[in-house]
Amino acid sequence: MSLPVASLARPEPQMAAASGRVRRFYKAYGLVVGSEVALPELEPTAPATPDLEIAVGPVDFPSRASQRATAFRFEPTRQYLYWQAVGTFMISDANRIAVDPAPGADDPLLAFPLLGPVMALALHQRGLLVLHASAIEVDGKSVIFMGDKGAGKSTTAGAMIRAGHRLLTDDVVALDLSDPDRPMILPGFPLLKLAADAAGAIRLERAEVRPQVHPQIDKAQHRLHDGFTPQAAPVSRIYVLERGAMAAISPLSGAAALPAIIKFSYVTRFGRQALPGDFAALHLRQCAQVAGRVGVSRLEVPAGLDRIDEAVAAIETDLASGIR
């Protein structure tokens, strides 16, 4: 796991929590989040009854007593995640995350897993299909970029933002499938992770780079001051990114589309243990639903950052064609 970055801007304290920490309120993924961990990555909102509560306090997780650097345990109503250098996180009943920091772990360090795998699993527990991907809004619709590490998901998203399109979410893509005919992407928060060479090539003008706080970080976090949309958008395309000699888009058959969506769903990163009971069947149905309703294509991205705009042009042409 890469580790995070320091805070950029802190909203005003909004309520004293029982732990003695300040309780702040944010919005993300269509939820009001009440948090005792400062999360300046998120958009602040007025105090309200939270849909998701993040509280700091002891978490009883015996598995962390081992010498392993990481440990996970998944139960139907509780999920435990432990990183030795960061702390222990417990998701309970899909509406509460308990955080037990490791000695010396500050809020910027806690925020990195909290807004990545921990948030992804909490959203999964709430019945959403969560992909490890990036998503961009284009003229009221949205596109998703999936791919292996290094395929260029965030880089392509950054190039789309530079071209005038807007970020919906990076890293954690949450899909609301309550309307089976219209899968919707819920907006995350205005942060994009970019490697130094990609950031130098794309040069997002309306973004501020947050300082790094850990030497293992291989990407910097860019807090967008523009280029983010807070509105949910229907999914128009899903692209599986691969490296190629030239920008090219080719539709995947249904038989190929479903395995791709399963592969890049966030929960599958944790293996079969993360899908206890009926969750495995539900997850398969959700993936099949998206594969059947949304066009899934292979997007070949040319090697060389100086050619990233060729991929942007191919995406815009593909969307304009209107063919699924």
Tens digit of each residue's pLDDT (9 = 90 or more) over 182-206: 999 999 999 999 998 999 999 998 8
How far apart, in Å, are the Cα atoms of 136 and each of 30, 71, 106, 166? 16, 33, 31, 6
User: Domain 129-321 in CATH: superfamily?
Assistant: P-loop containing nucleotide triphosphate hydrolases (3.40.50.300)
What is residue 15's predicted lDDT score, i.e. its pLDDT? 60
Q: Is residue 236 within 8 Å of residue 321, measured between CB atoms?
A: no
pLDDT digits (tens, 9 = 90+) for 230-257: 999 999 999 999 999 999 999 998 889 9
pLDDT digits (tens, 9 = 90+) for 19-53: 689 999 999 999 999 999 999 999 999 999 999 99
What CA–CA distance (Å, rounded) separates 306 from 302? 9
What CA–CA distance (Å, rounded) separates 105 from 114? 13
Q: Is residue 109 within 8 Å of residue 41, measured between CB atoms?
A: no
DSSP designation for 265:
B
Domain limits, CATH 3.40.50.300, in the chain: 129-321
> Percentage of the chain surpassing pLDDT 90?
75
Structure-token pair, residue 67: 């010498």
What CA–CA distance (Å, rounded) separates 37 from 113? 12
Return the closest-CA partner of residue 77 out of 65, 88, 90, 87. 90
Owner of token pair 């807004």: 115
Q: pLDDT-derived band of residue 68, with 50, 70 and 90 as boundaries?
A: confident
Q: pLDDT-derived band of residue 321, with 50, 70 and 90 as boundaries?
A: confident
Which of 170-179, 252-261, 269-278 has the highest average model confidence (pLDDT)? 170-179
